[in-house]
Structure 1
Amino acid sequence: MKASAFVYPWDVAGDPGAAARTARLGVEQVTLAAAYHSTRALTPRHPDHRIVTAEYAAVLYPPGDRWAGRGLRPYPAGRWAPGDAYGEAARALAAAGLEVHTWVVLAHNSRLGSEHPDTSVVNAYGDRYPWAPCIAQPATRAYLVDLAAEAAVRPGAQGTELESLGWYGLQHLHAHDKISGVGLGDAGQYLMSLCFCPSCHVGHGEHGLDADELPVAVRTALEPLWRGTAADGGWPTVEKLLGEETAAATRAWRERTARTLQEEAVAAVRAAAPAGFQVLLHADPVSYHCGANAGVDPAHILSVADGVVVPCTGGTDLLAPFAERAGRETVLAANLTVVAGMGGSPGTLAADAARARAQGATELRLYHAGLASDDDLSAVREALSAR
């Protein structure tokens, strides 16, 4: 199977040996961040630094003229990725013989929510999630679609992987996070991720809901969870807590909103890209899930994009629903963490890849070449050499 390693521009820019070192892993491709959220990242082999702090979500190249005069626009990166850091890294990686695809994070942006709070998801209690832009809002959708097209189609890129192209909710890798004291379960996460901004108020009404009463119903449904009642039964538990008809209507609104955004964004990327440009989504086959791996309907998304990147570090079961709908040319990329310190298992990569292939995977994604230790990378090289 073809393998691609995730890489940040700051892993490569300023390190003359980084591109060749990545190529020696045995990967054919790199998935290089072009638009990325805030993070703190280790760079264990860089000659100039060991820790990179990306202070806010940014594009890692100079944004184009399309944003002139617009209220919602991408932020250029600061000192962690100055100028065209993406372009510098992409050229070095291509010169090392690697195929470069862009990695674009979309509906996950804390600075956007901080500076434009009205763009954020608002839960049933009125709390805003600044990291989670509401994808129902017209201005936010237009921003995300244009960002997808610009960040995906960088010079020399042969494809893109679009992350967070859907709803983002309560779950978030936040600094000093302290929200795990109550076990909300899958159902509680869904209820706490429903949005009640003005755009969603209208959308709920269009789906037959009493938009004024819905947040009251959601708060009532959540009340037993705050008292410690387990709610880990997935969608049937949502239906039990909220009522089947109400639950179905909220899900229908959210799924329609995400599906149409995905269609628009992929169409915009294709319009901007050269022929043969590959478009993949980071995706979860459970359509009501939200986050970096957007919840999708497998049949729908595989009719829109060229394929999906599926989280497989905890097991490969999520591949099967996509494999059932895949065509001969569909890309099903199994995303495996190869950083032992982040819960990955580089030593079992060969066996994990074999299991993924058996479930229908056609390619591998390895997270993450820049973050991994030397021992992790040695294990990756050994596994890939045995393909």
Structure 2
Amino acid sequence: MESSVLAFATDLLDEGADAFFGNLTDRAGVGGVTLASVYHAARDVFPHNPHRVVRYLEPGAAYFRPDPAHWTGRRLRPTPSTAIGDRDPFAEAAAEARRRGLKLHAWTVFCHNDRLGFEHPDCAPANAFGDRRLTDLCPAHPEVRAYAATLVAELARYGVDAIRAESLHFHGLRHGYHHERYFEELGPVAEALLGVCFCTHCRAAADRAGVPAEEVAAAVRTELRRRLADDAAAGAPAALDELAGGAFAAYVDASAATVSSLAAELTEQARRHGMRLSFMDGAGPGRGWLAGIDLPALAAAADQIETLGYAKTPEAVREKVAAFALHGVRPQEMAVILRPMAMDCDGPADLAAKIAVLRELGVPEVEFYHYGLMRLSSLDRIGAALAG
């Protein structure tokens, strides 16, 4: 079973290559590192960082040095984080990984990008009222798709083994912006409908699929106004697949085809450069319909489906992986991320039991979240569990 730890480039820069890679090999005993190449805004606590405990990550920043020749004439382009100065953490990580016989994966957040969404609102998703969700990029927009493909080609320069594609899909309303506020209870249906994209490109994709996009948008606006106006209506259930006479379901299916085709294009791009592409599905089976996640189609399009195995017990991890099989994704086509910290694990034996479950099911790859956000003792826990 292959193994890796997810990390930030700032972990490498703050600790130095010897400490950083030494912890990965000597403490965690893993065979690779999954380094964030483009990441969203965050504020995190770093228990063992020698220089800072709390760090803010810039919105939509890149942690490699883009080649200007690849981005000539492009509006959407990666902006290096100010935290890396004039260094190139990916070049440093690639050289060290090769020297130590480790694999390097590029953990890349594609469509959840505050910086680019605010700079280019026309590239952001739009709800049925035309309001833009500026924390994200729309995967149907041609410029967004070109940006994503160029990112993959750029990362190939570093000898990356695999692209870990996070946020390569649509997003819902929540968890997009730091100071989100909902003083009236919206209800799950209104929240879901406010997260569906009706931008020009998504409507065009639906129309090409024979779906009356404007009719669907009008039905969604009517339903949203009804729910926003009344407390009782806000909490009422709804059969979304029957909205607009069933056309809403067809509209969402067209959005899923947009995501699947983008995943297929990026996978082909990665393969041309000798890399793999893993599609990261954090929500899990049955929860990504409105985000455009069609698991059987994505399993056929990408090299691998990666999911979060965050759970208290080994049996719960088993259930999470088994649920994917019901949606056409075999364990042999998956990678699973575990958290070795106390929130999920009570010790090395518990983590070892979860890894044993993954091995038994035939999952070929396990990753651990997250180098800088865990104590050094949690890195030791990974090493003990993998050895066991």
8 A Cα contact 2:29 2:383, kept in partner = yes
Q: Deviation string for 1:46-96 (max 9, x for gaps)?
A: 333333322221221111111022222111221356531222233334444
**1:304 alignment partner in structure 2:** 301
Q: Deviations over 1:252-292 (max 9, x none)?
A: 21011111111111111222x13xx332111244484466x
- Alignment of 1:105 with 2:106, yes or no, is no
**Percentage identity across aligned positions?**
30
Structure 1 letter corresponding to 2:3: A
- SS at structure 1 position matched to 2:112: coil
- Alignment correspondent of 1:46: 49
For residues 328-343 of structure 1, the aligned pairs below 5 Å read: 330-340=332-342, 343=343
Give secondary structure in 1 for the equivalent of 2:35: strand
Q: Is 1:114 aligned to 2:112, yes or no? A: no
Question: Which secondary structure does the structure 1 equivalent of 2:125 belong to?
Answer: strand
3-state DSSP of counterpart to 1:128: coil
Alignment-derived partner of residue 203 in structure 1: 205
Match of 2:78 in 1: 74
Q: Which residue, 167, 172, 190 being the options, matches 1:169?
A: 172
Give 1:258's aligned residue.
Answer: 259
Looking at structure 1, the residues matched to 191 and 250 of structure 2 have their Cα atoms a distance apart, in angstroms, of 17
- Secondary structure at 1:122's aligned position in 2? coil
After superposition, the C-alpha distances for 1:81-116 in whole angstroms (9 at most, x for unaligned) are 653122223333444442211111111111111110
Q: How does 1:264-343 map to 2 (within 5 A)?
A: 264-271=265-272, 273-274=273-274, 277-283=275-281, 284-286=284-286, 288-289=288-289, 295-298=293-296, 300-314=297-311, 315-316=316-317, 317-320=319-322, 322-323=324-325, 325=328, 330-340=332-342, 343=343
Letter of the structure 2 residue corresponding to residue 142 of structure 1: A
Deviates more, 1:252-261 or 1:113-122: 252-261
Letter aligned with residue 102 of structure 2: L
Whole-angstrom CA distance in 2 between matches of 1:110 and 1:290: 21
Are positions 1:132 and 2:136 aligned together? yes
Unmatched tracts of structure 2, length 5 or more: none
Q: 1:211 to 1:2 in 2, by over 3 A?
A: closer
Task: Give aligned pairs, total.
Answer: 372
**What's the offset of the Cα at 1:31?**
0.9
- Contact 2:256 2:289 survives alignment (8 Å): no
Q: Which of 370, 375, 378 does residue 376 from structure 1 map onto? A: 378
> Partner letter of residue 340 of structure 2?
V
CA shift for structure 1 position 37: 1.8
- Where in structure 2 are the equivalents of 1:136-215 lying within 5 Å? 136-151=140-155, 153-172=156-175, 174-179=177-182, 182=185, 184-185=187-188, 187-215=189-217
Residue 346 of structure 1: how far off its partner (Å): 5.9
Amino acid at match of 2:47: P
Tell me what 2:87 maps to.
Answer: 83
SS across alignment from 2:82: coil
Q: What's the TM-score, normalizing by structure 1? A: 0.85
Q: Is the alpha carbon distance of 1:262 and 1:161 closer, same or farther for their aligned partners in structure 2, counting shifts above 3 Å?
A: same
Q: How far has the Cα of 1:238 moved from its partner?
A: 1.6
Paired residues of 2:267 and 2:277 also in contact (CA < 8 A): yes
Structure 2 CA distance for aligned equivalents of residues 385 and 228 of structure 1: 55
Task: Tell me the equivalent position of 1:349.
Answer: 351
* Unmatched tracts of structure 1, length 5 or more: none
Residue 306 of structure 1, CA deviation:
2.1
Instruction: From the superposition, tell whether residues 245 and 8 of structure 1 become closer, same or farther in structure 2 (CA, over 3 Å).
Output: same
In the other structure, the counterpart of 1:59 is 62
Distance 1:61 1:382, change over 3 A: same
Question: Higher helix fraction: Structure 1 or Structure 2?
Answer: 2
What is the Cα deviation at residue 178 of structure 1? 3.0
Deviations 1:215-234 (A, max 9, x none): 3311333356542557697x
1:186-237 per-residue CA deviation (whole Å, 9 max, x = no partner) reads x54432221121222323333444433433311333356542557697xx83
Distance 1:359 1:139 in 2: 40
- Asked whether the equivalents of residues 320 and 360 of structure 1 are also in contact (C-alpha less than 8 Å), the reply is no
SS at match of 2:368: strand
Task: Report the counterpart of residue 248 of structure 1 in structure 2.
Answer: 249
User: Which letter maps to 2:270?
Assistant: V
User: What SS class does the counterpart of residue 167 from structure 1 fall into?
Assistant: coil
What SS class does the counterpart of residue 264 from structure 2 fall into?
A: helix
CA change 1:62–1:18 in 2 (3 A) is same
Q: Kindly tell me: are residues 120 and 168 of structure 1, through their superposed partners in 2, closer, same or farther at Cα, counting changes over 3 Å?
A: same
User: What's 2:366 paired with?
Assistant: 364
1:123 corresponds to which residue? Answer: 127
Shift of 1:180: 8.2
